Chains A and B, each alone.
Chain A
Amino acid sequence: DTGVSQDPRHKITKRGQNVTFRCDPISEHNRLYWYRQTLGQGPEFLTYFQNEAQLEKSRLLSDRFSAERPKGSFSTLEIQRTEQGDSAMYLCASSLPDRGSDTQYFGPGTRLTVL
């Protein structure tokens, strides 16, 4: 059982550019979550999917952020017109709820640096 994978692991971009990150969940996990972690802080919840449906997106940080999970498997997180304040670690997690419990397993993250 492979874990959650994220690509790329590191991304350096210039202010104003668009970036896209990919997350591949643990196979058969039907829930997928995105979080942002800034330096010295815990992860902050952004959005989540159950299968291909995005059931919560009000916590996305601005309308520059969007996420998709088109076939209910991998997901992408896009940031348009990046700003220096977007520099952070972007973490993905997946889960398969079981009898009311929902344990999230995290990937290694994508470190974004906006110059």
Chain B
Amino acid sequence: DAMVIQNPRYQVTQFGKPVTLSCSQTLNHNVMYWYQQKSSQAPKLLFHYYDKDFNNEADTPDNFQSRRPNTSFCFLDIRSPGLGDAAMYLCATSTAGLDTQYFGPGTRLTVL
């Protein structure tokens, strides 16, 4: 009965090689979020979608992009990963901003 699924759980990429992380949900929630979490730090919001409406955070680097082809799926694209992009990437969903977020297990990205 998984609700927010992230694939893969572990991803290794090379410096500068584009990588895509995937998130899917079975909750039919309107909002999907992507967070970056580095070791011993809090999750940092990168961007979110409300339905098809994309909302970028002001300090999210251009290197990070996202796509939401339908309600269930959302992708995080890192165009040219740097060593500083190694982190846990968390996907979350909610029905709206004033409702609980549900998190996936995360994808741990390693950049070599």
Partners in one complex: no
